[in-house]
Amino acid sequence: MISDLILKANEFLINDSCNNIDNEYKFELINVKHSSSIIQWRNNLSNYSLMVNQNKLNNELQQEFLDKYDTLDRLDFILIHISSKKYIGSFSLNNISTDTPEIGKLLGDKNFRGKCLGYKSTKLLLFFAFNYLKLKKLYAKTRKDNISNINLNKKLGFKIIKEEEINGKQFIIMKLENFTET
């Protein structure tokens, strides 16, 4: 059975006028064809060192995740460069039906960093979260030393609400309410 979340995501993804960044990039819902890229990004030291979950990812764990995906309270989108069909990042919404829905983002392909893609992709994800899912607020957990992500979140309207230690690392918890596209 396809979850309501996946149905809403598919409605959004089918609408090209919404799911498009500069006519060069778009989102797809996560599936098995993205696994090797996700595993590579996730296991890169410079990426996973900034994440809450410090465990390495392998094919078996990724497949277990995908097998139960339609029962999870989350949506994961893969950012794709349209002309090359290259997978370049992962953007997620977790704990969607709870009081603390959370955003996650990783521009996995370093060649696409520094081009405003993190900002534009996250803005598109926020548009989806607030307009299609009708969320009223969204949280972000960011390592305290991940200054570029903290600044990106601030630029998008997130406010720092507290600091928290998770697995011996300092994280900033940020909150965004009532996102409006600017």
For the stretch 83-124, pLDDT in tens is: 999 999 999 999 999 999 999 998 888 888 888 889 999 999
Supply the range of the domain harboring residue 11. Answer: 4-135
| pLDDT (mean) for 118-141 | 94
- H/E element holding 26? strand 25-29
* Count: domains in the chain: 1
pLDDT for 56 equals: 78
Task: For residue 69, give Cα distances in angstroms to 66, 99, 121, 138, 149.
Answer: 5, 21, 22, 21, 27
pLDDT for 53 equals: 60
Mean pLDDT, the chain, rounded, equals 87
Residue 58 within any structural domain of the chain? yes
Question: For the domain that residue 72 is a member of, what is the CATH number?
Answer: 3.40.630.30
pLDDT for 54 equals: 62
Residue 22 within any structural domain of the chain? yes
Q: Is the pLDDT assigned to residue 128 strictly greater than 50?
A: yes
Residue 63 within any structural domain of the chain? yes
Residues facing 76 on adjacent strands: 92
pLDDT for 155 equals: 95
Range of weakest confidence among 8-12, 32-36, 166-170: 166-170
Provide the 8-state DSSP code for 112.
G
One-character DSSP codes across 44-70:
-HHHHTTSS------HHHHHHHHHTGG
* Torsion angle of C-alpha atoms 91, 158, 148, 9, degrees rounded to 10: 10
Which alpha helices (H) appear in 86-163, and where do they start and end? 117-131, 147-155
pLDDT per position as a tens digit, 22-65: 889 999 999 999 988 888 877 776 655 555 666 777 889 888 98
Exposed/middle/buried for residue 68 (C-beta within 10 Å: 0-12, 13-18, 19+)? exposed
- Give yes or no for a contact between 122 and 31, defined as CB atoms under 8 angstroms apart: no
Residue 163 within any structural domain of the chain? no
